[in-house]
Structure 1
Amino acid sequence: MMLIKQFGQAPIGNRLKKLQASAHYDTKTGTFLNIHETPTLTEGYSMSQVMYNFLFKKHPRVNPSQPIPVIKTDITSLDLTQNLLIWFGHSSYYFQLNGQRFLVDPVFSGNASPIPGSNKPFKGTKIYSAQDMPVIDYLVITHDHYDHLDYPTILQLQSKVKKVICGLGVGQHFLYWGYGLQQLIELDWHQKLNLANLTELYTAPARHFSGRGFKRNNTLWLSFVLTTPSFKLYLGGDSGYDSHFKELGEKFQGFDLVLLDNGQYNPAWQAIHMLPYETLQAAHDLKTKRLMPVHNSKFKLSVHPWDEPLQTISALNAAGSQPLPLVTPTIGEIVWLDQPDQPFQHWWEQLE
């Protein structure tokens, strides 16, 4: 039963009517659309070719031979007046901003796939669990893929979550899994939510796709902007490179920190996951003061060496005409949001 329930549930009834009214929804196909045409595979690639390459060809160093270094921070004891962020590997992280607690795309079950035990995390990275989390003001979900929306984790977190913020249609999964309607805030692109203490949350596009079963794009994928009177944060979710980065950079006149997709990429699916040089360009488009590259260092979802994302973006950034401070914490290390000069180690260079 658990295996079946984790697939979630497609929107029905009034919830279906709500998403059908979105300007980004195509009623003919029953799917959400990206801003620009977004092919599943880059021209010149075939799905059979990609699957054969992934399943049967040998690729060097896709998994680290040593455990990933980690720090076990006691999150429940952190001072809520401090603005900070803690990364759990891949695209899962906790942050405190302006006296509020946020948890983004948590995956604590030790699997990034609907098939149990089929995509285990790298050694050393599974050190946090739902039990380690404090009460969460806002559980933020960028989209419903298994490496971002983890059924066992969501069940374990329910009693600690005040509100869930997600894209249109994604709330149906939460209702199916036992969450209450009063816990859910489902949003379209380009919407604004006023939070406490003069904190504002904006939804924005991403160039990606969605789906937990055979049906794709029946729920909406998002990126997020959070602003306070003194700080601007962009949470990019999964995204291929597109015009929305530059548009957001102009609209919000730059950011203090952006978290962008940089890992599990492949030229074969470049439209939906940025290559490192595109991540760097997106950061410049967003006019950010600091860049944190995520979607790496925990799960093998592509065929590149496990440390290539961080190695490549670091080298490209250093060689550029306007290098950005890169935020590259070890898993569990505290990132102080109000300390723009905080140094970080190239921890991946210590491993094989």
Structure 2
Amino acid sequence: MRINSKRLKRVLLVIAIIIFLPVVIIACYMQTPQFGKKPSGARLERIKQSPHYANGRFNNLVPKPTITPGYSMSKEIYNSLFKKYPRTAPTDSLPSVKTDLKALPLDSNVLVWFGHSSVYLQVNGKRILVDPAFSGKASPLPWGIKAFKGSNVYQPEDFPTIDYLLISHDHYDHLDYETIKALQSKVKQVVCGLGVGEHFEYWGYEPKQIIEKDWDEEVAIAHDITLHTLSTHHESGRGFSRGTSLWLSFLLETPTQKIYISGDGGYDGRFKQIGEKFGPIDWVILENGQYNKAWQSVHNLPEEVAQATLDLKTKQLITVHHSKFTLARHPWDEPLNLIAQHAKSHNYKLATPMIGEVVDLHSNTQVFKEWWRGIN
């Protein structure tokens, strides 16, 4: 019996190691800086004063289940892990233009898109960068979601000094740790949602660099540029925490032009409200890609992008959140094909720049190729 007892103890020890060792490894790995830090202290106390914060987290204006009724989280996870879907990433390398960003005349009002949701703007002499993600991945794991071939041709060293870095929310494909660290010496000011500043301070940014905002607030970027921080219907979180920081959309307003940047978020009545308050809007940069009917509440479907464009009383549309990472199961070029089809029947103009191509924000006649056609 003594021998059997020893064997049993060894077996139990091995089982315990098999069960708990991965847990310990994961817990240790999640202490690395890329996971960021939850708000605390005075920052948390300020967050608690927000009308959009309750029960320990931020909440959307209109409560909706993240998973669409009729779908299940477990089945969606299973499908993502074990099912194969055709053409979710291109096999060919994506085309691009390598623009010398540092040489762009500062008095030119332009936009450059870098794949997914990363966008550079020059507006009335100010340089603005939105949601930069240049590490080549959209995951905290080294073997995680990789950028498409040809889509990651820009790096932090390609950028001039950035007057304002805008962060819509803290998901990994929008708040990229490696990129944020590499840009630190170039960034004058960061504008982000309440709570997101905790990540930046943890990563070495000075508190004076960080401007944290709630929905329906303003930042005076210059005497002739106002940045409005507006709502969207989405979520936030790194690691296992959810809703501890706020997600934003933005509207840049000058005396002659308005530019709306949607961030991530599903379709709802806010687009019409924003259009009624600020419209007509000259340019809108709308999320269109990495969607699924199962999580329709937090990501637009292409037909909803088309409707949101009308709601916003838009003159010109650029879509983002596509052509860099596979985060959903649709063919990689489906968002572009569908929005191009929708645009034919409406009176706004769809601009389809390739990665790195300069868009003239004062032109309504600039022509763009449907560059994704014929790419496998």
TM-score (norm: length of structure 1): 0.97
2:222 equivalent to 1:203: no
Provide, for residues 225-278 of structure 1, a one-character-per-residue CA deviation record: whole Å limited to 9, x for no partner. Answer: 101111100000001001111001000122000001100000000000000000
Secondary structure of 1:247 counterpart: helix
Kindly provide the amino acid, as one letter, of the partner of residue 57 in structure 2.
Answer: T
Q: Does structure 2 retain, via aligned residues, the 8 Å contact 1:241–1:278?
A: yes
Match of 1:86 in 2: 112
Q: 1:324-347 CA deviation, whole Å, 9 max, x = no partner? A: 211110000001000111111111
> Where in structure 2 are the equivalents of 1:160-179 lying within 5 Å?
160-179=186-205
Whether contact under 8 Å (1:38, 1:207) holds in the other structure is no
Distance in 1 between the 2:144 and 2:221 partners?
39
Q: Is the 8 A contact 1:76 1:132 kept in 2?
A: yes
Q: 1:44 is aligned with what amino acid?
A: G
CA distance in 2, matches of 1:251, 1:213: 36
Q: Is residue 2:292 matched to residue 1:262?
A: no
Deviation of 1:2 after TM superposition, in Å, equals 8.4
Q: Larger deviation: 147-156 or 32-41? A: 32-41
Q: Counterpart of 1:308?
A: 334
Structure 2 match to 1:283:
309
CA distance in 2 between counterparts of 1:116 and 1:162 reads 30
1:317 matched to 2:343? The reply is: yes
User: Where in structure 1 are there 5+ consecutive unaligned residues?
Assistant: none
Q: Kindly indicate whether residue 174 of structure 2 is the aligned counterpart of residue 148 of structure 1.
A: yes
Aligned pair 1:342/2:366, yes or no?
yes
Asked whether the equivalents of residues 279 and 314 of structure 2 are also in contact (C-alpha less than 8 Å), the reply is: no
Amino acid at match of 1:121: A
Structure 1 runs (4+) deviating above 4 angstroms are: none
Shift of 1:350: 2.6
Tell me if the contact between 1:192 and 1:202 (Cα under 8 Å) persists in the aligned partners: yes
Q: Tell me if 1:240 matches 2:266.
A: yes
Once the two structures are TM-superposed, the CA of residue 78 in structure 1 deviates from its matched residue by 0.7
Structure 2: where are the runs of 5+ without partners?
Answer: 1-27
**Aligned-residue offset at 1:197:** 3.9
Counterpart residue number, 2:164: 138
Q: Secondary structure at the match of 1:257?
A: strand
Question: What is aligned with 1:123?
Answer: 149
Q: Which has more helix, going by share of residues?
A: 2
Is 1:48 the equivalent of 2:78?
no
Shift of residue 51 of structure 1?
1.2
Partner of 1:326: 350
State the percentage of identical aligned residues.
54
> 2:327 and 2:109 mapped to 1: Cα distance?
31
Amino acid at match of 1:311: N
Q: Distance in 2 between matches of 1:323 and 1:41?
A: 33
Is 1:214 paired with 2:226?
no
How far apart in 2 are the matches of 1:63 and 1:215? 29
What SS is found at the alignment partner of 2:164? strand
| Distance in 1 of aligned mates of 2:342 and 2:111 | 25
Provide the aligned length of Structure 1 versus Structure 2.
Answer: 348
Amino acid at match of 1:94: Y
Tell me the amino acid that sits aligned with residue 91 of structure 1. Answer: S
Structure 1 residue 117 displacement after superposition:
3.1
Q: Deviations over 1:39-60 (max 9, x none)?
A: 1110111111101111211111
Larger Rg: 2
1:137 deviation in Å? 0.1
Tell me what 2:43 maps to: 15
The Cα shift of 1:34 comes to 0.6
Structure 2 match to 1:33: 59
Paired AA for residue 85 in structure 2: H
CA deviation after TM superposition for structure 1 residue 317, in Å: 2.1
TM-score (norm 2): 0.91
2:89 matched residue in structure 1: 63
CA distance in 1 between partners of 2:48 and 2:223 (Å):
33
Task: Give 1:6's aligned amino acid.
Answer: Q
